[in-house]
Amino acid sequence: MKTYRQYCALARGLDLVGDRWTLLIVRELLSLGECRYSDLQRGLPGIASNLLAQRLREMEDSGLVRRTALPRPAHATAFTLTARGAALQGVVREFVKWGAPLMAADEAQDTFRAHWLMLPLRGLCRDNEPHSGRVVVRVGTVDDGCDITADSGTVHVAPSHPAVDPVATVTGDSAALVALFTGQLPLEASSSSGLLIDGDAAAVRRIIGGMPTAPNESPLNRSAQGGPTKDGGPR
Amino acid sequence: MKTYRQYCALARGLDLVGDRWTLLIVRELLSLGECRYSDLQRGLPGIASNLLAQRLREMEDSGLVRRTALPRPAHATAFTLTARGAALQGVVREFVKWGAPLMAADEAQDTFRAHWLMLPLRGLCRDNEPHSGRVVVRVGTVDDGCDITADSGTVHVAPSHPAVDPVATVTGDSAALVALFTGQLPLEASSSSGLLIDGDAAAVRRIIGGMPTAPNESPLNRSAQGGPTKDGGPR
DNA sequence: CTGGATCCGGGAAGATACTG
DNA sequence: CAGTATCTTCCCGGATCCAG
């Protein structure tokens, strides 16, 4: 992208990550961690192959991404965020918060990947049974999804891992998934709304952020960092 | 911009504000409040006239900007952020924090407007004499700058206003201004660093965030929301 | 004077095919 | 698997012109 040539922190930031697709690449690396080229392609439907290669090169040059060679298979490469790249988390988090209301509109032709829910889910999920032991709930599949681990009050959201055996798996329609985790769709109504809950439904209930949706405010707007938020909400 | 066609809050957010110049227009409206077309042109050096008009139309269509007719002069228009547009403050704030380290590199040919400092300054300034009465320090000029008001512990940063008579005015080299307010340039050294302080230097000292710069962390990285400042946002 | 519209050249993005 | 090559399309940038 052409630089704005403005001595301004916002403009200089946009000089680096304002290009089309760049922030979505950051989303993938922030969610999935270390990625192969083909992982990124799968997580970024619609991107042209040459563009992905070009962006990765630019991001490497500007110190946001690190490229490492994998031992096997041959010609395998891994892409990771540098500390500087990972520092974009705050930007992405605010963007997700701001964009949350846009998820209400259901453009049917939009593609969906279950692992895109990871970033919002990190702010949405709670352990409603802080005195119970470890359970894992999977959203999506092994190939595309995430494992939500609740353990004595803490919650962790990680990419689906084959070695993990979840006690419950939630799959189904994208809009219904969002509605479920934002509390707009009660768990009981899930089966009639394009959602399939396989396994221990109680485990699913345990991790769903239970707060009732205030009018005009999506739960996605809560701080994704947890803790005693003094946040005054969006201004 | 072409939509990403992804059912993801980040992607949908970028569909609306990911276009070139859009977030910089938000910066102007967030800093300055109500703006005329020509105000925006002055604050966005480098933008083509047609592009500014097109962006404003798009932002109006997507509910980020409101256009109102001014009584005089004839055919004068005012552009303002809607609540939804102003809600981008969090995104912009995080972007400014992330971009702060990029201000160290001094690309001499980058243009500079003093009012671009307003957003960072809202997080940077403190009232170091909470028991003193109201003083106003101007950074920049009446035409392009901001008035920093300290009053019994609170700080407000507003666009320069002709009716205001500051007790001190700080002007000078852009990099030196940044260094001064990030605490990297002591006030005493200012005169030899391309900075001109006109008036009551003690008032300037009063509002400068005094913390010594920790290694690897710019003071710009402090939360811009911090403290009990019931900041009502722009305007 | 303010707030645009119009035209055009260059370059970035998009689509697809191909390769070490 | 991880890209490159090539072609097309369309957005951006710069200049100029125009209506109220």
B76-104 pLDDT tens trace: 899 999 999 999 999 999 999 999 999 99
pLDDT, residue A54, reads 97
As for how many domains chain A has, the answer is: 2
Claim to verify: residue B64 and residue B120 sit in the same structural domain? no
Interchain CB distance below 8 Å, B23 and A20:
no
Interchain CB distance below 8 Å, A96 and B175:
no
Contacts of B10 in chain A (CB under 8 A): 23-24, 27, 92, 95-96, 99, 119
Reply yes or no: is the peptide bond before residue A166 cis, omega within 30 of 0: no
Claim to verify: residue A59 and residue A153 sit in the same structural domain? no
CA B19, CA A7: separation in Å to the nearest integer? Answer: 20
pLDDT band at A234 (very low <50, low <70, confident <90, very high): very low
pLDDT, residue B109, reads 85
Contacts of B13 in chain A (CB under 8 A): 95-96, 98-99, 102
Question: Does residue B95 sit at the A interface (CB-CB below 8 Å)?
Answer: yes
Claim to verify: residue A136 and residue A198 sit in the same structural domain? yes
A11, A87, A220: residue with CB nearest B9: A220
Nearest-CA distance from B1 to chain A in Å?
9
Claim to verify: residue B83 and residue B116 sit in the same structural domain? no
Question: Does residue A24 sit at the B interface (CB-CB below 8 Å)?
Answer: yes
Claim to verify: residue B142 and residue B58 sit in the same structural domain? no
Question: Does residue A116 sit at the B interface (CB-CB below 8 Å)?
Answer: yes
* Residue B55 included in any domain: yes
Claim to verify: residue A116 and residue A80 sit in the same structural domain? no
Claim to verify: residue A83 and residue A127 sit in the same structural domain? no
Claim to verify: residue B82 and residue B116 sit in the same structural domain? no
Q: Which domain holds residue A45?
A: 9-87
Claim to verify: residue B217 and residue B137 sit in the same structural domain? yes
pLDDT at B53 over 90: yes
Claim to verify: residue A82 and residue A119 sit in the same structural domain? no
User: In whole numbers, what is the pLDDT of chain A averaged over residues?
Assistant: 89
Claim to verify: residue B116 and residue B83 sit in the same structural domain? no
Claim to verify: residue B144 and residue B46 sit in the same structural domain? no
pLDDT digits (tens, 9 = 90+) for B136-160: 999 999 999 999 999 999 999 999 9
pTM of the model: 0.90
* Residue B191 included in any domain: yes
